[in-house]
Structure 1
C-alpha cells in the first residue's frame, strides 16, 4: 500500500513542558522516517501538529492561538492536536473549524497510523472533525521518547503520568497514572544517543522519582545504570519531588561519573499551611533538609526551584512565610508560576481567593529574589575553571554553553572560538570571567 505521507511536509508547534518538547521531537523523527519533510517557516505545510499543554487557562489560550495561527499560515493543511489539552477537552477542540483530528494520551504514540487514515478520509469527504480519547482509567501506554530537537542536549523521557493528586493540578487527569519504561529500555536509548554523538542527556518525565511503577525497578537503579553508558558525559535530572530525592540519590549524583551538580526540585510553596492545602507530600522542614544535604555533599550544585504564587488559601501571611523561607535557602534560581484555577481540581473548594493584582505583585517579588540568587551563585564562580558544553545557537548570536553546574557561558570572539576548540557539541575547560552586558551569562576568558 502506498505511503500516504510520503513527500508531504509538516510543521509542529509545542507548548508546555520539556516532556512535550521531547515527545514532539521524537514524533518529528518518526514522521521524517515516513518521508515527511519538516517545512521551512515560510512554506505552506500539508500537515500541522500541535502538542498542547493545559496547566493553566493561559496555556489553553496559547494552544488555541497556535492552532489558529498554523491554520491561517497553512491553508488547507491537515490539523492534528495532541497533548494534555487534547485529552481534557477532545470534543471541544474537535469542533474547531480548522481542526481535523484530536488524539488523547493513549493515542499519542499512534499519530502516524491515525494520520494516514485521516488523509484518506479527508481526500474523499473534503472535511473531517474527529476526536479519539479514552477515559483516564484506560491511559496505560508508555510512549518512549528520546530526541535532541534543535539543541545540543538530548531529552530522555523515562516516565509519564502521576499518582499524586495535588489539589491545584490537572496533570493526573490529563496524563493518567504513573507509568514508565524499563531500565534496559532507557539504557538502550542512552546508548543510541552516544552512538549519534550526543554528550548530554536531560532525564524527563512528569514525576521521574516515581520511575519503575509496575516493573519492580526504581529511579536509583535507573541512574546507576545510565551512569555506566559509555560516551554520555553528562546527565541532568530535570525535576524530582523532594520526598523522592533520597539521600542515596544525592550521594550517588555527588560522586558519580556523569551526573552533574544540578537539581531541579519543585517546592510550590514555602508555607506549611499552603503545602497542606495543596496536598503536597512534604513540609518545609523536609525541603530545607534536602537542600542542606545537597549543598553539604556538593557545595557547587545549582538548585532550581519551582514555586506557585496566589493559590487559593495563600493569605498575605502565608506568602510572607514563603518569601522568607525561599530567601533562607541556598538555591540558585526560581521558576515562578502564577496560580490559575483549573476545572475539576480540588483547589476550587478552598476558600480565600487571591486577586490578579496581588498575584502579579507576589510574582514580581519572587522573580526579583530569583535574579538576586542566580547572580550571587554565578558570582561565586568568577575566576574558576569549569567544563563547558557548547550549544547550537541562532545565527548572529554569541556562541553559548553551560558549565557542569548550569552556569550559562558566552564566548566573546567568533573567530577565536574555532582555534580554541569552542564549537557546537564540544566540551572545553574554560576560565569564567565577569558577567556579559545583560548579566545573563559569564564570559569565557581566553
Structure 2
C-alpha cells in the first residue's frame, strides 16, 4: 500500500526542526512511501510547527490551506513545538487529521492506520515531563550542508520562552552516535555540517536529564574535528555563558571548525537581562566578543536580540541599541517580543505598545544592515575559501566563505558543492560580494 502513497513535508522554524523533519521523512521513505515536494499533490502532508513567534502560528493555517489546494482529500499531520504546546488548537483547524506531540513525532507512521480524513483532528500528545529520551537526527536535503542535531530540550527558565514547555528537559545524544551521524553525512559527499540543538552549549547531559555531563561541549567539538571527510563544521547558536574561552581557542586553531559564531544577547540592558532570567550579564557578552576578536579577527559574529520586552523603556532600548552599535559584531537577528501563554513575561507590567515594538525592530534591522556592510567591507581584498551552493538564482550561483560572507558569481553548475579559494573584490548593489578565483583547482 505504502509504495503508491506520496508524502510531503513543510518545516517552520529553526535548523533543529529542519534536521528533525529530515529524519521523519527518512522514516517514511524506509517504509515505502515516496517523498515529493510540498507544492506537489501528495496523499499525506506533514507540517513541522514552531512556537517561537506569533507569525509561525498564523502561517500554519495558510500552509494547511495550500496543502488542501493540492489535494483536498490529503491526510494532514501536525508535529513539532506548537503541536506540543497547543494540540487542541491545531486539531481544530479545518483539514487537520492528526496532531503529534514531542515524544510521538518520531513514530508518525505508527499512528497512520488508514488515510481516511477525520472530522476533528486526533491528538496524541504527552505530558512534556515524559519527553525524557533522545532521538538523534540530521538533515540532508541540501547537497552542500547538513544540520546535525546533538542536543534537545532546555533547563533554562527564560521568562519569555516556551521552548522548555515544548521540548522538555535538556538531554544530549551520545558522543558515539553524533560521530556516527557525522561520518554518514560525510560519506554522502556533503561538505559542511552545522551543529544544532535547543541549547547546544549544554551538550553532555544524559538521556534522562541527569545533571551530570558525560562529555562537555568542548569534548564534542574536539572529537568532531577528527572525523575524516568533513571539510567544514559550523557551530549554530550558543549561549554566551556556555561558550568557553577554551572552545573559542580550539576553533581558532581548527582546520574544520569555521570562524563563525552566533551568540544570543537578547538585550544590552542588565536590568532587562535579569527580568528575562538570562544566565549572564552584559559584561560576559562583551568578554566573549573580545575573546573571539583577539584570536580570530576575521570571525563573523551574529547576535539574537529581542525588542519590546515588558519594561523596555526608550532609555533601556537605546542602551541596547548603543551597546550593539559600538560592539564589533557582524549582523543581528531581531525578534519582536510576542506574548506567549504560560510564560512569566505575560504577567509583567510595562507592556510596550505594538507600534513602538515595530519601530524599535526597524531601527535594529537598519543597524544590522550597516553592521553586515561594514563586516563585508572589512573582508574585501582577503583570500578566503567559498563553498558553492546548488541553486541557480536568476542566473547566479551563491556561496559562503568560512566566515559567512555571502558571495555571488554567474551560474556555473560545475561549481556546485565545491570549495574554492577566492579573493574578495567588491560589494555588489544587492549587498553580496564579488570575487576573483585565486586558482581554478577545487580544494575539496
When normalised by structure 1's length, the TM-score is: 0.93
Task: Please identify runs of 4+ aligned residues in structure 1 that moved more than 3 A.
Answer: 40-43, 394-397
Which residue pairs with 1:79 in the alignment? 76
The answer on whether the counterparts of 1:302 and 1:331 sit within 8 Å (CA) in structure 2 is yes
Superposed, 1:38-77 pairs within 5 Å as 38-40=35-37, 43-77=40-74
* Superimposed CA distance per residue, residues 289-313 of structure 1 (whole angstroms, 9 cap, x where no aligned partner): 1100011010010000000000111
**Displacement of 1:36:** 1.7
Does structure 1 residue 114 correspond to structure 2 residue 111?
Answer: yes
Which residue pairs with 1:31 in the alignment? 28
What secondary structure does 2:9 align onto? strand
Which residue pairs with 1:297 in the alignment? 295
What secondary structure does 2:415 align onto? coil
**Displacement of 1:180:** 1.3
The answer on whether the counterparts of 2:38 and 2:45 sit within 8 Å (CA) in structure 1 is no
Alignment CA distance shift 1:268-1:151 (3 Å) = farther
Which residue pairs with 1:249 in the alignment? 247
The answer on whether the counterparts of 1:108 and 1:143 sit within 8 Å (CA) in structure 2 is no
Q: Distance in 1 between matches of 2:325 and 2:393?
A: 38
Q: Distance in 2 between matches of 1:196 and 1:202?
A: 15
Q: RMSD across aligned C-alpha pairs, in angstroms?
A: 1.5
The answer on whether the counterparts of 1:44 and 1:74 sit within 8 Å (CA) in structure 2 is yes
What secondary structure does 1:166 align onto? coil
Superposed, 1:147-158 pairs within 5 Å as 147-158=139-150
Which residue pairs with 1:399 in the alignment? 397
Alignment CA distance shift 1:107-1:442 (3 Å) = same
Structure 1 unmatched ranges of 5 or more? none
Q: Distance in 1 between matches of 2:92 and 2:347?
A: 30
Which residue pairs with 1:193 in the alignment? 185
The answer on whether the counterparts of 1:144 and 1:158 sit within 8 Å (CA) in structure 2 is yes
Alignment CA distance shift 1:151-1:436 (3 Å) = farther
Q: Distance in 2 between matches of 1:315 and 1:197?
A: 51
* Superimposed CA distance per residue, residues 304-360 of structure 1 (whole angstroms, 9 cap, x where no aligned partner): 000000011111111010001111111000000100000100002221011111111
Does structure 1 residue 444 correspond to structure 2 residue 435?
Answer: yes
- Which segment is superposed worse, 261-270 or 33-42? 33-42
Which residue pairs with 1:182 in the alignment? 174
Does structure 1 residue 263 correspond to structure 2 residue 255?
Answer: no
Which residue pairs with 1:228 in the alignment? 226
Which residue pairs with 2:441 in the alignment? none
The answer on whether the counterparts of 2:143 and 2:190 sit within 8 Å (CA) in structure 1 is no
Which residue pairs with 1:328 in the alignment? 326
Alignment CA distance shift 1:86-1:301 (3 Å) = same
Which residue pairs with 2:127 in the alignment? 135
Which residue pairs with 1:5 in the alignment? 2
Q: Distance in 1 between matches of 2:177 and 2:373?
A: 39
Does structure 1 residue 212 correspond to structure 2 residue 207?
Answer: no
The answer on whether the counterparts of 1:22 and 1:149 sit within 8 Å (CA) in structure 2 is no
* Superimposed CA distance per residue, residues 109-168 of structure 1 (whole angstroms, 9 cap, x where no aligned partner): 1112223x243xx38xx7563100111111112121112223511000001111001000
Structure 2 unmatched ranges of 5 or more? 207-212, 438-444
- Which segment is superposed worse, 166-175 or 55-64? 55-64
What secondary structure does 1:54 align onto? coil
When normalised by structure 2's length, the TM-score is: 0.94
**Displacement of 1:33:** 2.3
* Superimposed CA distance per residue, residues 176-204 of structure 1 (whole angstroms, 9 cap, x where no aligned partner): 11111111100000011111111100000
* Superimposed CA distance per residue, residues 63-106 of structure 1 (whole angstroms, 9 cap, x where no aligned partner): 12212221233210111100011001112222333111100001
The answer on whether the counterparts of 1:332 and 1:373 sit within 8 Å (CA) in structure 2 is yes
Alignment CA distance shift 1:428-1:397 (3 Å) = same
